[in-house]
Structure 1
Amino acid sequence: MSHFKQTVALKEVKCFALHGYYPEEQLIGNHFVIDLETEFTALGFDDELSQTVNYEDLNTIILEEMKNTQKLLETVLKNIISKVIERYPFVENIKIGMKKLNPPMLGQISHSFVQLYYTSAK
């Protein structure tokens, strides 16, 4: 029997949020860009959303978690992963990365970047 691996992803989801370690960052905020990829064994091809990950749900999860101010970007990413797994327990792998545009540091820095990977223990 054949198994298909399927990827459902959102690329470059742009948000403004108040994440940052320093109190000033949590007051002035910054712009962020998120990439989120899910991978799983295809559940079927019946042309139904119940057979896949709905990327509209992924977008909602990202936008809701970006509203919850955190000191570390890693915490935000872990929270997003947890919500995706809760909604879609069949997901086997998740890769999520976040860019913080023009981080408030000396010099000209395009963005900082944090990435997390999740692999199910199944």
Structure 2
Amino acid sequence: MAEPFTGDRIILKDLGFYGYHGVFAEEALLGQRFFIDLELGTDLAAAASSDRLSAGISYSDIYDVVKSTFETRRMKLLEAVAQNIVDGIFNEFEAVSWVIIRLRKPEAPIAMVRGEAAIELHRQRKTP
């Protein structure tokens, strides 16, 4: 078995969403921007050699799962939002063996002059 978080990967960066996640009432009421970076570990050899979309995973399909999962349930913590997205990816794409997700919140309600609050999860598919 390959080491986790190595090998071929699909990368999607700066996926932007507007959401209502957060601890404070204002966040639930007003919402704010969030950005997501993803790396999905999957074998890309068949798609690379055949040049057929059907041999790989569509980036559009990944985006649709992320968007749907992000928008379905309001969560207080970035960690919980990110875990829900990871779970959605593992449920939808059997060929994905690991996920690295970074969820960024540029307007977090803390006294930052510049920057953003973010979390990053590294998850490997659990085998039965």
Out of 106, 115, 118, the position equivalent to 1:110 is: 115
- Please identify which structure carries the higher helix content: 2
SS state of the match for residue 41, structure 1? coil
Instruction: Give 1:7 deviation, angstroms.
Output: 1.2
SS state of the match for residue 50, structure 2? coil
Quote the Cα distance in structure 2 between the aligned partners of 1:63 and 1:15.
Answer: 8
Quote the Cα distance in structure 2 between the aligned partners of 1:111 and 1:117.
Answer: 20
Moved over 3 A (4+): none
Match for residue 53 of structure 1?
57
- Please identify which structure carries the higher strand content: 1
SS state of the match for residue 8, structure 2? strand
Instruction: Give 1:121 deviation, angstroms.
Output: 4.1
Q: Which stretches in structure 1 are left out of the alignment for 5+ residues? A: none
Per-residue CA deviation, residues 28-60 of structure 1 (Å, 9 max, x unaligned), is 111111001101223513222232221101111
- Name the stretch that deviates more: 38-47 or 63-72: 38-47
Q: Percentage identity across aligned positions?
A: 25
Task: Please provide the CA RMSD for this pair.
Answer: 1.6
Is the CA contact 2:21–2:76 (under 8 Å) kept in the aligned structure 1?
yes
Quote the Cα distance in structure 2 between the aligned partners of 1:31 and 1:121.
Answer: 31
Quote the Cα distance in structure 1 between the aligned partners of 2:112 and 2:45.
Answer: 48
The alignment status of 1:16 with 2:24, answered yes or no, reads no
Match for residue 6 of structure 1?
8
Q: How many residues are aligned here?
A: 118
Q: Which stretches in structure 2 are left out of the alignment for 5+ residues? A: 1-6
Instruction: Give 1:113 deviation, angstroms.
Output: 0.4
Match for residue 32 of structure 1?
34
Match for residue 91 of structure 1?
96
